[in-house]
């Protein structure tokens, strides 16, 4: 027979069920720390949101189109609000929008030093290099579209195959029939001749001039200002010789060559390298006329 009283048995059972005091206190402290950390996170998020509201931002309206996705086959414009920093270019803004808001935003870019020509786009109604165009020089909203008069592949990317075909049609590489006698002798060029062709060598094949040309838009066979400028660079190079010059002029004199240019100067206005494209085309016309003059 047990000698323990009922009250004593109950007290001992209760004692076994009570959590040790140090563990209970640590748990309460941990919950308190968790609540404090959550409150701090909320405070930081609110401050970041307020800072973004107070920050100077630029409004972008970006052309979107994706033929491979059913819901995006219809062209549209998406709005992005990008935090502005001094010296920020349109390309910087597009990269921020892509990296922060929509990773599917598609456009071409390479060196970001205005020499690769890959990021030419239609910005606020004009052909521009995005890496060269300052946001601060543009009015909001900044409307960014793919180059006109070219097939859109996706978003801001256009098919450049036709442009490259036109460039290739003028044989854009140095050729000569008069090689120096010595094996290691250079083909010398006078300083005057170098100055004459210098500006034409700055072409970066961006396609901005071709996109701005109304004649190229209506005549798919027209060589276009970029190809004619490239032809000028070699036609006027004294090192190629008269025979090669005659061959190039025959290419340029065709129906869809230099005579299709109507001297609108749109190509010259949009060229990011300030090449006097229209002037070069007019000089090629003069050379073509002289080439066909017969004195007998």
> What one-character-per-residue DSSP string does 154-183 give?
ETTEE--HHHHHHHHHT--S---S---SST
Q: What is the CATH number of domain 161-178+190-292?
A: 1.10.1060.10
pTM of the model: 0.76
* CA distance linking residue 95 with residue 89, whole number of Å: 10
CATH architecture of residue range(s) 57-151 = Roll (3.10)
Domain ranges of the chain: 57-151, 161-178+190-292
One digit per residue, the tens of pLDDT, for the chain of length 296 reads 444 444 444 444 444 455 557 787 888 888 888 888 888 888 876 765 565 554 689 999 999 999 998 888 999 999 999 999 999 999 999 999 999 999 999 999 998 888 999 999 999 999 999 999 999 999 999 999 999 999 999 999 999 999 999 999 999 988 887 777 777 778 888 999 999 999 999 999 999 999 999 999 999 999 999 999 999 999 999 988 888 888 889 899 989 999 999 999 999 999 999 999 999 999 999 998 987 776 55
Question: Which helix (DSSP H) or strand (DSSP E) does residue 36 occupy?
Answer: helix 21-54
- Whose tokens are 């749109």? That residue is 266
8 A C-beta contact, residue 56 and residue 110: no
* CA distance linking residue 132 with residue 127, whole number of Å: 12
- The SS3 of residue 104 is coil
């Amino acid at each position: 027979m047990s000698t323990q009283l009922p009250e004593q048995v109950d007290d001992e059972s209760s004692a076994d069920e009570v959590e040790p005091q140090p563990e209970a206190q640590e748990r309460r402290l941990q919950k308190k720390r968790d609540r404090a950390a959550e409150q701090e996170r909320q405070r930081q998020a609110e401050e970041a949101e307020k800072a973004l509201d107070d920050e100077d931002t630029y409004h972008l309206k970006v052309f979107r189109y994706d033929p491979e996705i059913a819901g995006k086959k219809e062209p549209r414009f998406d709005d992005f609000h990008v935090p502005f920093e001094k010296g920020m270019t349109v390309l910087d803004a597009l990269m921020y929008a892509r990296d922060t808001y929509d990773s599917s935003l598609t456009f071409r870019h390479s060196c970001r030093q205005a020499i690769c020509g890959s990021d030419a786009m239609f910005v606020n109604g004009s052909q521009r290099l995005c890496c060269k165009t300052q946001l601060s020089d543009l009015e909001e909203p900044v409307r960014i579209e793919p180059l006109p008069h070219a097939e859109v592949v996706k978003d801001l990317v256009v098919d450049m195959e036709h442009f490259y075909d036109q460039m290739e049609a003028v044989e854009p590489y140095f050729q000569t029939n008069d090689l120096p006698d010595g094996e290691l002798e250079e083909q010398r060029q006078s300083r005057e001749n170098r100055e004459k062709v210098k500006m034409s060598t700055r072409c970066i094949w961006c396609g901005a001039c071709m996109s701005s040309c109304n004649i190229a838009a209506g005549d798919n066979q027209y060589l276009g200002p970029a190809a004619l400028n490239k032809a000028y660079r070699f036609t006027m190079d004294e090192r190629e010789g008269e025979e090669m010059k005659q061959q190039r002029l025959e290419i340029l004199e065709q129906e869809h060559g230099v005579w299709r240019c109507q001297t609108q100067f749109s190509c010259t206005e949009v060229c990011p390298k300030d090449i006097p494209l229209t002037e070069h085309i007019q000089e090629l016309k003069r050379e073509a006329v002289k080439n066909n003059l017969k004195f007998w």
